[in-house]
Every structure is written in structure tokens, then in C-alpha cells.
């Protein structure tokens, strides 16, 4: 009987690989490429062990870096430094890749009705899910193998290289299985991705909390991303830790398969409720429709930002304490401006990270235009007395103002939590934190404007809007450690933002970034105004 429920898995697996023949290698190459470039630039920058140890000692005392990247377990080898620098980032990347792959081949297919066509063939009930998981397994195995190979090529220990590769791959697999569950529970691909994405965010925050101070270390063990870190590649190579993500993936897979058996095609786990028989008087124009369509996502993001701000604000105390314990570091930090300087460095790093995350929201809400257009839902609206600019404008309020709301939320909650943890004037802390987060807006806007320009001018290449985001963030995130030339760093608007709190605000970069965003957005709107729709 179980043989029948899996019928057609092989065909569906090959179909998935065929559909993802570009996206899947790109994900794997980005992950591998970043590990490789990190390893090779560490080899160039810190060629001898002494320089590596000095570098590692300096990093390990810096609470903000510990919160973002985790502790350095082995500061003596290039492999150890690479595992530190790319561990969390690589795990998040593998988790995102696996989530998107699994949802794309399960719930999204079901939502679009294609799975119905497939399900009518000689295809077992569990085949689509199994094929999607097999696709994710393929991608994660490829990532693990290539990461191992590049670290070997960089001359690192075989055991460490393999441990690091497997840690990333296993994290990916865990989230693939988690996405398989959310794809059963949620009724839309968007919601399934949202649930799994929230889980990735929580895993990231838990690990950051655990690593950021003393006494919270247990939190790392609650996080699958923390497990990946705790494999401690190149330091201890704790293979047994891999049992956690792999065992978790197995359990989640069993759960997802059980859920498949207990629901109808197209349905989720939650019952459908009837809606109103008539529209509220306010739902009378394109902007109101856009608000209705986008408000749920903004609310979800705002809750996530509020939680993130509260967590990262409240661990500020640990960051300061950490420096306090380490005399040598304290001396170093005193020269950087004392405890206040350390705190400011931490807060400005956190504000920058939330700026980059807010840009994800901004790009996503711009691309909602394309989703509406290609699904054919823009057509009946535009066949009404609605100009294209008005239609687009209703949606674009969200990247424009919604991202400001998100950054204000995270600034306010981080400020409140920080003053609760450290004492001191609440109003002052909130005000400084709001400044630090809101100053990210021009870069967020420019990123969103690039996505809008791609959508307006080259609608078929809309996904390339994410490429713009990727370039901006990778350059700002990895550029400094890779010691890229300044002109490359200058390509990213995030490079130009003043580091608040603790530094002076210079208006010029904010102004030109905003002006450039307006120009690029206008080009996109002009394209949308002129081109064919559909």
C-alpha cells in the first residue's frame, strides 16, 4: 500500500530539478562562493597563526559580533575563522533555500491547481511531498559537498571541512522538513513560507540571545541554527550534534507525511470561514484594495520586528558585561569610547541588520505588483476606472511607509528593552534607537526602488529585483571583511549610512540616496505606464 502512495515520486523529482535547473545551482553556488571567498580572504589577510589569534581575540570580546556571528571556537586556523564568519549566515542561507524549494514544489503547486493535474495521474498521495523533500536533500547535499571541497581546497583539515559542510547541509534539511509541515498547515504558499520564515527568524534570535551574554547559553540549544554552530567545526568537530537537526528532520518528515494523509487536496488544516456578503463602504478604490491585500503581511512583519527589537535591546546588558569581564578587551574598547562606545557599536550593528531585513520586506511588497499582474488579478482592476499609477501607488505606499513603520517599531522596542535592561532614561534610549533605525530608510527605499525599476522596465526579469537586494546586502555585509576596494563598497547604499548611535549624522548621503531612490522609482513607474500589461 505504501508503495502506491509514493508512485510517481521519481518523475516528480525530475520535474522539480528541471524547473529549478537555474535557481537551485544559483543558491548552492552563492553559498559555496561565499564560504570560498571568506576562506581565501582570511588566508590572504591573516596568513600566520599569530595574526589569526590576535584577530580572534579582538572579535570574541565584541558582544555585537558574537550576537551576530556566534563565538569563535577555533581562532588559530583559517577553517575555524571561516566557520565562525559563515556559520550562522550559511545556516540561514541553507534554511531559506530549503524552505523556498519545498514550499515551491508542494503548497505553491497545490495552490495554483497544478498539483491537481498531477494528482490525477498515476501519482501517489505522498509523492509530491517526497519529491520536494528529495529536491531539498539534493540541494543541501550539494551545498555540503561543495563547501567541504572548497575548504579542502583552501588547505584546511578534512574532518573540519566535512563537519562544517554537514552542519550547513543538516540545518538546511531540518528546515526543509519544517517547511514540509508548514506547507500542510497553511493554505497558501505565501503563508507556508511565512511560517517557516518566522521559524528561521526565531532560530536566529534564540542563537543570538544565547551567544550574546553570560547565563543565556542554553538558548543556543533551542535553535537549529545554534546546533549548526555547536558542531564546532575545526575546533572539536562534535559529530553527535548533527543528530539533532537530522533527527528533528526525520520527526518533522513523519509529521508532514501524516498530515498529508489527513487533509483534502487544496485545503489547509484550518477551517474556512465565510466572509461578508458585501464590501465595506471603504473598499471602493484601488488603494483600499492594496491596503486590504498588504496589511496582513505588514502586521506580521511588525510583530516580528517588535519581538526582534525587544530581544536585541534586552541583550545589550550582556554585551556590555562581556567586555567588562575581559580586561584586555576593556582597554581596547576604552580607546574606542568606553562602555558607551561598545554599546553604540552593538546598537548600530543591530540597527543596520534590521535595515537590511526591512529591505527584504520592501522588495517583497514591491513585487506584490508583479504577483497581482501575472496572476491576472490586476486586469479587472485596471479595466475599471483606475490608472496604472494609481494602482501601483496604492501598493507602493507599503514599501515607502510600511518599511518606515517597521524600522520605527524595532527602534522603539529596542530602545525600551535596552533602557529596561541597562537603566537610564527611557526617552533618551528610545530616541537614539529610533534615530539609528530610521536612518536606514534611504537605503531601504533605494533597494525597493531598484526592484520597482526592474518590474516596470523588464517585467519578465522581475525576480532580478532580488539580485539588486543581494548585491547591496552582500557588499555591505561581506565587503569589509573581504577588504573589497572602496568603490565596490560604495555600490551599496547601506555602506553610506551613518553609524548611529554614537556618530554624527551627515545629511548628504541620506539625501542623495533618497533622491536616487526617487529617480529610480520614477523610471520604473514610467516603464509601467508605457508597457504592455499581463
Partner 1 sequence: MTTAISVSGLVKTFGRTRALDGLDLTVEQGEVHGFLGPNGSGKSTTIRVLLGLLRADSGTATLLGGDPWRDAVPLHRRIAYVPGDVTLWRNLSGGEAIDLLGRLRGGLDPARRAALLERFELDPTKKGRSYSKGNRQKVALVAAFAGDSDLLILDEPTSGLDPLMEEVFRECVGEARERGATVLLSSHILSEVEALCDRVSIIRAGRTVETGTLDELRHLTRTSVDAVLTGPPPHPAYAHDLTVDGNRLRCHVDTEQLGTLLAELTAVGVRSLTSRPPTLEELFLRHYENDPADTPSTAAAR
Contact with partner 1 (CB under 8 A) among 22, 120, 122, 385: 385
Report the residue number, 515 or 533, with the smaller CB distance to partner 1.
533
- 21 or 531, CB closer to partner 1? 531
Nearest distance, CB of residue 377 and partner 1, angstroms: 5
Please report, for residues 49, 79, 287, 291, the alpha-carbon distance to residue 379 in angstroms, rounded to integers and kept in the order given: 63, 54, 15, 18
User: By the 8 A CB rule, do 370 and 463 touch?
Assistant: no
- Provide the minimum distance between the beta carbon of 118 and partner 1 in the complex, in angstroms, as a whole number: 18
Cell numbers describing residue 75? 581562532
Point out which span in 48-56, 195-203, 214-222, 281-289 binds partner 1 (CB under 8 A): 281-289
120: three-class secondary structure by DSSP: coil
Sign of CA dihedral 383, 387, 389, 391: negative
271 interacts with partner 1 by CB under 8 A: no
Asked if 339 and 323 count as a contact pair (C-beta separation under 8 A), the reply is: yes
Number of helices (H), then strands (E), in the chain = 25, 0
- Least Å distance, CB 385 to partner 1, is 4
Q: Which is nearer to partner 1, 379 or 428 (CB)?
A: 379
Q: How many residues does the chain have?
A: 534
Cβ proximity to partner 1, 138 vs 188, nearer residue: 188
Quote the DSSP letter at residue 528: H
For residues 474 and 75, give the distance between their C-alpha atoms in angstroms, rounded to a whole number.
24
User: Looking only at residues 346 through 375 of this chain, which bind partner 1 when binding is defined by CB under 8 A?
Assistant: 375
Q: Which residues inside 182-221 make contact with partner 1, applying CB under 8 A?
A: 187-188
Taking the complex as a whole, the smallest distance from the CB of residue 283 to partner 1 amounts, in Å, to 5
325 in contact with partner 1 (CB under 8 A): no
Interface with partner 1 by CB under 8 A: which range of 54-62, 122-130, 276-284, 466-474?
276-284
Helix (H, G, I), strand (E, B) or coil at 362: helix
Instruction: Closer to partner 1 by CB, 21 or 377: give it.
Output: 377
Q: What one-character DSSP code corresponds to residue 399? A: I
Choices 149-157, 162-170, 413-421, 525-533 (CB under 8 A): range interacting with partner 1: 525-533
Q: Binder to partner 1 among 284, 299, 505, 519 (CB under 8 A)?
A: 284
Helix (H, G, I), strand (E, B) or coil at 343: helix
CA nearest to 124, candidates 115, 112, 133, 136: 115
Cα dihedral sign, 419-422-425-428: negative
Q: How far apart are CA 492 and CA 479, in angstroms?
A: 10
The answer to whether 136 and 142 are in contact (CB under 8 A) is no
Cβ closest to partner 1, residue 45 vs residue 293:
293
Phi, psi of 483 (to 5 degrees): 50, 45
Instruction: Give the nearer residue to partner 1 in terms of CB position, either 215 or 282.
Output: 282
| Shortest Å, Cβ 301 to partner 1 | 17
- Could you say which of 120, 277, 504, 507 contacts partner 1 (CB under 8 A)? 277
Residue 441 to residue 20: CA distance in whole angstroms: 34
Least distance (Å) from partner 1 to the CB of residue 286?
7
> Pick from 3, 215, 271, 376: which binds partner 1 (CB under 8 A)?
376
User: In this complex, which beta carbon is closest to partner 1, that of residue 112 or of residue 428?
Assistant: 112
DSSP state of 272: P
Residue 125 DSSP symbol: T
d(CA 287, CA 293): 10
Residue with Cβ nearer partner 1 (124 or 268): 268
Residue of 289, 322, 417, 473 interacting with partner 1 (CB under 8 A)? 289
How far is the C-alpha of 193 from the C-alpha of 434, rounded, in Å?
29
* Residue of 5, 76, 138, 285 interacting with partner 1 (CB under 8 A): 285
Exposure class string for 194-213: b at 16+ Cβ within 10 A, else e: bbbbbbbbbbbbbbbbbbbb
Burial of 36 (0-12, 13-18, 19+ CB in 10 A): buried
The CB-of-458 to partner 1 minimum distance in angstroms stands at: 14
Residue 133 C-alpha cell reads as: 523533500
Residue 117 gets the label, from left (phi > 0), alpha (psi -120 to 50) or beta, of alpha
Judged by CB under 8 A, the residue of 381, 452, 482, 510 near partner 1 is 381
Cβ closer to partner 1: 380 or 485?
A: 380
- Applying CB under 8 A, among 382, 405, 467, 491 the residue interacting with partner 1 is 382
To the nearest whole angstrom, how small is the minimum distance from the Cβ of residue 342 to partner 1? 46
- Minimum Å gap between C-beta 379 and partner 1 is 6
The closest alpha carbon to 448, from 504, 406, 388, belongs to: 406
Q: How far is the CB of 284 from partner 1 (least distance, A)?
A: 4
State the residues that interact with partner 1 by CB under 8 A.
187-188, 272-280, 283-286, 289, 292-293, 296, 375-377, 379-387, 530-534
Amino acid at each position: 500500500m505504501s508503495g502506491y502512495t509514493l508512485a510517481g515520486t521519481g518523475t516528480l523529482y525530475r520535474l522539480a530539478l528541471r524547473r529549478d535547473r537555474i535557481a537551485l545551482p544559483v543558491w548552492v553556488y552563492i553559498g559555496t562562493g561565499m564560504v570560498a571567498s571568506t576562506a581565501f580572504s582570511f588566508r590572504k589577510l591573516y596568513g600566520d597563526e599569530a595574526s589569526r589569534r590576535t584577530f580572534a581575540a579582538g572579535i570574541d570580546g565584541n558582544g555585537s559580533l558574537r550576537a551576530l556571528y556566534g563565538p569563535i571556537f577555533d581562532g588559530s586556523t583559517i577553517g575555524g575563522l571561516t566557520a565562525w564568519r559563515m556559520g550562522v549566515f550559511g545556516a540561514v542561507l541553507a534554511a531559506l533555500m530549503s524552505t523556498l524549494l519545498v514550499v515551491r514544489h508542494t503548497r505553491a503547486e497545490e495552490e495554483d491547481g497544478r498539483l491537481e493535474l498531477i494528482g490525477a495521474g498515476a501519482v501517489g498521495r505522498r509523492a509530491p511531498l517526497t519529491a520536494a523533500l528529495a529536491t531539498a536533500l539534493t540541494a543541501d547535499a550539494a551545498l555540503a559537498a561543495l563547501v567541504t571541497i572548497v575548504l579542502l581546497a583552501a588547505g584546511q583539515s578534512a574532518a573540519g571541512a566535512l563537519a562544517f559542510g554537514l552542519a550547513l547541509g543538516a540545518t538546511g534539511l531540518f528546515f526543509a522538513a519544517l517547511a514540509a509541515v508548514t506547507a500542510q498547515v497553511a493554505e497558501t504558499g505565501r503563508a507556508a513560507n511565512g511560517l517557516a520564515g518566522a521559524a528561521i527568524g526565531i532560530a536566529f534570535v534564540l542563537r543570538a540571545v544565547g551567544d550574546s551574554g553570560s547565563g543565556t547559553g542554553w538558548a543556543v540549544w533551542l535553535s537549529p541554527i545554534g546546533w549548526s554552530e555547536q558542531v564546532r567545526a575545526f575546533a572539536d568537530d562534535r559529530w553527535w550534534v548533527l543528530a539533532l537537526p537530522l533527527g528533528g528532520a526525520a520527526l518533522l518528515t513523519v509529521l508532514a507525511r501524516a498530515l498529508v494523509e489527513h487533509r483534502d487536496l487544496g485545503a489547509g488544516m484550518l477551517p474556512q470561514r465565510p466572509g461578508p456578503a458585501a464590501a465595506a463602504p471603504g473598499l471602493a478604490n484601488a488603494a483600499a484594495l492594496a491596503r486590504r491585500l498588504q496589511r496582513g503581511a505588514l502586521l506580521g512583519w511588525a510583530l516580528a520586528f517588535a519581538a526582534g527589537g525587544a530581544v536585541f535591546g534586552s541583550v545589550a546588558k550582556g554585551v556590555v558585561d562581556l567586555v567588562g569581564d575581559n580586561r584586555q578587551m576593556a582597554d581596547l574598547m576604552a580607546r574606542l569610547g568606553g562602555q558607551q562606545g561598545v554599546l553604540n557599536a552593538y546598537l548600530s550593528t543591530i540597527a543596520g541588520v534590521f535595515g537590511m531585513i526591512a529591505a527584504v520586506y520592501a522588495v517583497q511588497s514591491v513585487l506584490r505588483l508583479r504577483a497581482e499582474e501575472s496572476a491576472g488579478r490586476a486586469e479587472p482592476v485596471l479595466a475599471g476606472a483606475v490608472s496604472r499609477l494609481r494602482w501601483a501607488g496604492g501598493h507602493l505606499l507599503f514599501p515607502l511607509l510600511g518599511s518606515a513603520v517597521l524600522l520605527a517599531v524595532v527602534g522603539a522596542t529596542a530602545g525600551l528593552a535596552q533602557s529596561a535592561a541597562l537603566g537610564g532614561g527611557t526617552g533618551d534610549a528610545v530616541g537614539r534607537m529610533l534615530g539609528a533605525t530610521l536612518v536606514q530608510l534611504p537605503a531601504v527605499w533605494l533597494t525597493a526602488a531598484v526592484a520597482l525599476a526592474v518590474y516596470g522596465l523588464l517585467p519578465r526579469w522581475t525576480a532580478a529585483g532580488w539580485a539588486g537586494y543581494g548585491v547591496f546586502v552582500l557588499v555591505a555585509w561581506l565587503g569589509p571583511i573581504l577588504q573589497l576596494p572602496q568603490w565596490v563598497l560604495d555600490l551599496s547604499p547601506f555602506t553610506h549610512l551613518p553609524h548611529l548611535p554614537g556618530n554624527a549624522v551627515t545629511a548628504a548621503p541620506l539625501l542623495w540616496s533618497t533622491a536616487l531612490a526617487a529617480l529610480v522609482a520614477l523610471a520604473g513607474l514610467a516603464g509601467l505606464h508605457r508597457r504592455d500589461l499581463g
